[in-house]
Amino acid sequence: MKKHNFYAGPSVLPKKVTKETAKALKNFAGTGISLASISHRSKEFDEVVIETQDLFKELLDIPEGYSVLFLGGGASMQFAMIPYNLMKSKAAYVNTGAWASKAMKEAKLFGEVHEIKADDFFHLPKNFDLPKDIDYLHITTNNTIYGTEYKDDFDVNVPVIADMSSDIFSRKVDISKYAMIYGGAQKNLAPAGVTFVIIKNDILGKVDRQIPSMLNYQTHIDKDSMFNTPPVIPIFAALQTLKWMKAKGGVEAMNKKAIEKADLLYNEIDRNPYFVGTVAKEDRSLMNICFVMSDAYKELEKDFLEFTTERGMVGLKGHRSVGGFRASTYNSLPIKSVKALVKAMQKFEESHG
């Protein structure tokens, strides 16, 4: 049976990416050695890192003065590295949910945190005032659990740090408006295991504290992400994804498809009396579409999950903290999977009407 993969992460990758990675695991770049066994210092893998950095810069139109790093530890490691390297005394954090809350928790170990928050996580904070004495503003652009997303770049007079784990490469971003962008790769880019960091070089070196080598961004810039053994297989897979995106038309094409998939599903949620969206319409994510059974049909939630599972759909159960359903429509998810879900919603309505 054809599977439709709606998992929030690790998530669906293009078939071409998994095919090329599997091939490299047997024989990498004609070396006769598995990608899993190749030296990260080899000429062949060095070329992979360079090409991956170059494609990052090309597809995101990254200006001069920024470095692209590939690190371990996930975005969660960045929650601590950011204040370690950048917070002198105070920072502002926009709290949009679980991941932003975790980032704030780490930042409080290094200084004062000014929290910005809406009344609930189903709305995004907007038009807020910033203290004048902050070192940076931290935002999480897409909330995978609640299904909200900032779709426009922030334009403020302080350095902006953005966790873009789950919406990177899904829309055009003006990199120059950010001091740093980072994220785990396991949503729109690669298998779990590598974290990307896009960092403006001149924001570093301004804190007085001593920073351990592995937690110092300058260490990894100086060594081109090779200070220690990097996550070789996920970096290779990321390169294949970037090549796939470029061949498909780049970020602009990804955004067009993301809007098309989201519109299809949101329109059905709004039309179908059995379902209701959970997020304010103006804040709806293009990547993580969250919805629940409407009040009159709450008892049918388990039935609908079974109904979709029978039709080859996986990963639709909402996060345990909010319940309901979540369809993650990352770049690699084919539109036919969204159409299959919409059809299942319509069939479910018909069978219970």
- Of 167, 187, 200, 283, which one is the catalytic site residue? 187
Plot region of 89 (φ>0 → left; ψ -120 to 50 → alpha; else → beta) = alpha
Q: State in Å, rounded, how far the first CA of the chain is from the last one.
A: 27
| Bridge partner residues of 149 (DSSP) | 142
Give the containing element (helix H, strand E) for 66. Answer: strand 66-71
User: Taking a C-beta distance cutoff of 8 angstroms, is the pair 169, 251 a contact?
Assistant: yes
- Of 135, 163, 167, 283, which one is the catalytic site residue? 163
188 three-class SS: coil
User: Taking a C-beta distance cutoff of 8 angstroms, is the pair 156, 174 a contact?
Assistant: no
Q: Match 């396991």 to its residue by tokens.
A: 186
Directed axis angle between helix 250-271 and helix 335-352, to 10°? 0
Triad 47, 50, 56: Cα angle to 5°:
135
161 three-class SS: strand
Cα–Cα distances (Å) from 253 to 60, 233, 309, in that order, read: 13, 26, 30
163 is known as an active-site residue: yes
Rounded Cα–Cα distance for residues 341 and 119 (Å): 31
126 is known as an active-site residue: no
Plot region of 306 (φ>0 → left; ψ -120 to 50 → alpha; else → beta) = alpha
224 is known as an active-site residue: no
User: HSE of 170 in the Cβ direction (CA atoms, 13 Å)?
Assistant: 30
Residues noted as catalytic: 99, 163, 187
